[in-house]
């Protein structure tokens, strides 16, 4: 599939990613893996961002205080936690 930068999205990528995180974490009840987020993005919006695009978006969400990342050795093994507000 083409990268996100090659396709016009009606909603910004950050909004899609946040919505998928809320869904796959069951509103913050459990952490999500990167692969779960990628599968959710494909189901919700029919997109598959590159690892760099997804990492950049997750970094923005973490900086804004919406999520917390738990790192591991590989990007695919990172856990994403939704911070309940």
In the chain, what are the domain boundaries?
4-82
Residues 31-81 have pLDDT tens digits of 999 999 999 999 999 999 999 999 999 999 999 999 999 987 788 889 999
Spatial contact of 47 and 1, defined as CB atoms under 8 Å apart? yes
What's the pLDDT at 82? 96
Residue 43 parent element (H or E) = helix 34-45
% of the chain exceeding 70 in pLDDT: 88
71, two tokens: 């790192």
Q: In which region does residue 15 sit, left (phi positive, over 0), alpha (psi from -120 to 50) or beta (all else)?
A: alpha
Which has the higher per-residue pLDDT, 15 or 8? 15
What's the pLDDT at 85? 61
4-82 in CATH: which number? 1.10.10.580
Nearest to 50 by CA among 34, 74, 66: 34
């Amino acid at each position: 599939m083409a990268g996100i930068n090659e396709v016009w999205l009606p909603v910004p990528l950050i909004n899609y990613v946040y919505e998928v995180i809320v869904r796959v974490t069951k509103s913050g009840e459990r952490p999500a893996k990167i692969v779960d987020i990628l599968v959710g993005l494909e189901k919700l919006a029919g997109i598959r961002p590159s690892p760099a695009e997804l990492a950049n978006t997750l970094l923005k969400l973490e900086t804004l205080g919406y999520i917390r990342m738990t790192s591991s050795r590989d990007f695919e093994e990172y856990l994403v936690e939704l911070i309940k507000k």
